[in-house]
Chains A and B, each alone.
Chain A
Amino acid sequence: GDSVTQMEGPVTLSEEAFLTINCTYTATGYPSLFWYVQYPGEGLQLLLKATKADDKGSNKGFEATYRKETTSFHLEKGSVQVSDSAVYFCALRHTGTASKLTFGTGTRLQVTL
C-alpha cells in the first residue's frame, strides 16, 4: 500500500538557518504530494502541493519539488523564522473515488533566536 516516510525530529535550528525536511514515498501510479503544517494547538493547514513529476510547490518561502525518480518531496526553506516552529507533515493522495491523504509521521521543527 501507499506510505510516506519522513525524517524523524525534532529538528532544532537557529533563526535564519537553512531548513531541509526529507520526505520519500511509496505509491503506485502518480499521486499528488502535499506538505501540511500544524502550529501548536491548531489544525492542519496546507503549506504547498505538487500534482505531477518535476512540479515545484512553494508558499511562504517554503519549496518542495516532486521527484519521481527518487520518489521524494523534500521541504526546504532558505531562512527559517521563530514563527515557523511547528510540526510538518508530508502526505500523498491518489485521485479517484476513494482518494484519501496518507500522512508521514510528522517532523517537529523548533526554531530558536
Chain B
Amino acid sequence: DTAVSQTPKYLVTQMGNDKSIKCEQNLGHDTMYWYKQDSKKFLKIMFSYNNKELIINETVPNRFSPKSPDKAHLNLHINSLELGDSAVYFCASSQDTGGGTQYFGPGTRLLVL
C-alpha cells in the first residue's frame, strides 16, 4: 500500500489555467505538507496543515490555495497558472508537528506552457 499518494503524476497545462493536485496519506498522520522543488532541485516548504488547520503558509502567492477536507487529504489548487509555477510538487505527512519523520509522496511534475 502506498503511504503518501499524489495525483496526477504529470500535469501539462497552458498559462492562465486553473489546476488541482491531490494528496492522500493512509498513515493516520495528523500533519501534512506541500513542498515545491524547482528546476535546480531546490526544495521549499509551501504549506502545512495539522488536523485540517493551516499552520504554515510560507509567503506563497495567493493563487495557491490548499484545502484539507479531512486529515488524510491535502489538496493544492492553483489559479491562473504562470510559467514560473513549473516545478515538481511534493506532498508529505508526519505523525504530528513534533520532530518526527516526514514521509513524502512521489511528486507531481507540473509543466506550464
A residues neighboring B (CB under 8 Å): 32, 34, 36, 38, 42-46, 49, 51, 87, 89, 93-103, 105-106, 108
Interface size counted on chain B using CB atoms at 8 A: 26
Give the chain A neighbours of B48 by CB distance below 8 A. Answer: 98, 100
B104 touches A44 (CB 8 A): yes
- Contact across chains for B107 and A43 when beta carbons are under 8 A apart: yes
Q: Mark B29-65, 1 if CB is under 8 A from A, else 0.
A: 0000101000011111100101000011010000000
| Interfacial chain B residues near A43, Cβ < 8 Å | 4, 90, 104-107
B96, closest chain A residue (CB): A99
Task: Write the B82-95 contact mask toward A (1 if CB under 8 angstroms, else 0).
Answer: 00000000101000
Given A103-B42, A105-B40, A105-B42, A98-B105 contact (CB < 8 Å): no
* Cα(A104)–Cα(B42), bound, Å: 7
Binding site for A on B (CB under 8 A): 4, 33, 35, 40-45, 48, 50, 55-56, 58, 90, 92, 97-99, 101-107
Asked whether, in the complex, the Cβ of B107 is within 8 Å of the Cβ of A99, the reply is no
Instruction: Provide the residues of chain A in CB contact with B4, threshold 8 Å.
Output: 43
B44 touches A93 (CB 8 A): no
Neighbouring B residues of A46 by C-beta, 8 Å: 101-103
A-B contact pairs, 14 of them (CB 8 A): A36-B104, A43-B4, A46-B102, A46-B103, A94-B99, A95-B99, A96-B97, A97-B55, A99-B98, A101-B33, A101-B35, A105-B40, A105-B41, A106-B41
Q: Is the CB of A97 within 8 A of B97?
A: yes
CB neighbours (8 Å) of B58 from chain A are: 100
* Known contacts A43-B90, A43-B107, A51-B99, A98 near B41 by CB under 8 Å: no
